[in-house]
Amino acid sequence: RRRHTRFRNVTGVQTCALPISVTLDAGQSGAWQALGRAHQALNEMNEAITAYRHAIDCDSRRAGAHLALGTLLLDLNQTGAVESLGQAAALDPRSAPSAERHARALAQAGRFTEALAEHERARRLAPGDGAYVLSQAETLADAGQHGLADELCRQMIGSPEIRPEDKALAYRRLAGRALAQGDASAACRDLDRAVALAPARDDIRMRRAMLLLSLGQFEPGWKEFRSRFSRTLAGAGAIHAQPFPQPEWAGEDLREKTILVWGEQGIGDDIVAASMLPDLAGRAGKVLVHTDARLEPLFARSFPANVRFFARVLPVQPELLSDRIACQIALGGLGEFLRPSWASFGAPRAYLRADPAKIDSFRERYAALPGLKVGISWRSRNLVNGRVKSTTLGEWLPILRLPGVTFVNLQYGDCAEELARAQDAAGCRICHDPDVDQLRDMDGFAAQVTSLDLVISVSNAIAHTAGALGIPTWVLLATDPLWLWFRDRDDSPWYPRARLFRQVSAGDWSEPVSQVAASLQGWSLPGP
């Protein structure tokens, strides 16, 4: 079989595209597995899953292929992880990684007794390795045994056998627990201790950066936020700097100069940071923005004339490599210079504009829908924190049962079965528009959102899109949300018509759902 793909360099930086033809013999399980790793490195997850399954078809006793497939399914929260990782653990019973990941998959499936037994086996296979203790603590917490989880972390910190770096990770986990309980001061202390034990761990520094930013401590927070580009960050949380040749902008005068700004993270992150582009456009002669291709038409319509947008494709457009560009900076790095304080935010305003013709088309299509038209999205697919941010649609029943509302599905991904169950349970109608693909056509999706009366969502790209468009947007937040939602406030400095509904207890969505239902009931009355 002949495959054509594109590879980045070993750092993951998008510097060039190399068309490579790989000829694979049907019996070469290892080659299929290598191809799966390459697809995974390029964030081509469906292709990676297919390649790993071919590797298993070629050699069903290849433990590494089962482990790779199962780990990816686990990270994506897809079915089949328990089976694949159980097979990996059975084929290689002396492998601590296989036992630990099998334990995590069992925990994700709610099979906590079996999961904890596998965690114990992993720890016996790798005594003194703090990573396996921490993983067990996470499962104990997922099972609701928070006290035991915290005690495991404290035992790690006091044990002379545990490396300082692993003790630092234990402090980081205790900080997360403190934040879930609403104790930001204790979290700051634990993260300070973690950084002192492992100053080279930029993932811990990033955690502290996000906490500082969430507390409005912008000056130290933005400086620590620079650690996101460290090579020591790995896995789903890795962020890669783009190697543009111009010097990095350090806040100097940009009048009559050209600055290049490049997107660095997901669509939601780039939409939030794009709120700073009008400010930058007022300071600079020209602003060139290298962004996700899906955002290019929406962004191009929305910002001042001296801001030009370029799709993030390979190879990079030659114009962006010119020495006539005075400087460059990551989109997320603008905050250090443009949002150094609360006062610098100013009054929030809508800054994205959907296509008027497409808006009219959606409004015409939805005109017959009765009552309020409310878009809903209930989960995030973020590999780092999507599970914490996500709900099930079944938890929305107090909202879905309200009369006088037609709900419109804005959730990306395959959710047909969940929609059917929720409609049966709530006795409501949830309109699904098959012509809208939120993952591919952001311009069309923005028009759909603009045609609605209200959007209710968890923290994901849909919430950011609706907020930036100026649509009334109600966001359900976990006890420890992303930093950009900040803390102890029910509005947003980024979005003019956003309302925030926060969990009271970690993992319990009943309170914010109840608050949203009560607020929506008011909207449902005549003359809201």
> Which residues are CB-contacts of 140 (< 8 A; sequence separation ≥ 6)?
116, 146, 148, 149, 152
pLDDT given at position 27 = 63
> Which residues are CB-contacts of 71 (< 8 A; sequence separation ≥ 6)?
81, 85, 101
Give whole-number Cα distances, 158 to 57, 172, 330, in Å: 47, 15, 40
| Beta bridge mates, 376 | 409, 456
Mean pLDDT of the chain: 90
| Beta bridge mates, 258 | 286
How many Å apart are CA 501 and CA 512, to the nearest integer? 5
Q: What pTM, to 2 d.p., does this model score?
A: 0.81
Query: Which residue in 482, 9, 461 sits closest to 206, CA to CA?
Result: 482
Which residues in the chain come in under a pLDDT of 50?
A: 1-22, 24, 26, 234, 236, 526-528
463: helix, strand or coil: helix
| Beta bridge mates, 4 | 21
Give whole-number Cα distances, 382 to 32, 79, 494, in Å: 26, 17, 21
- Per-residue pLDDT reduced to its tens digit, 222-260: 999 998 887 555 454 556 778 899 999 999 999 999 999
Residue type, 108: Q
Residues written for the chain: 528
How many Å apart are CA 268 and CA 452, to the nearest integer? 20
pLDDT given at position 12 = 36
Specify whether the CB–CB gap between 378 and 356 falls below 8 A: no
CA 64 to chain centre: 27
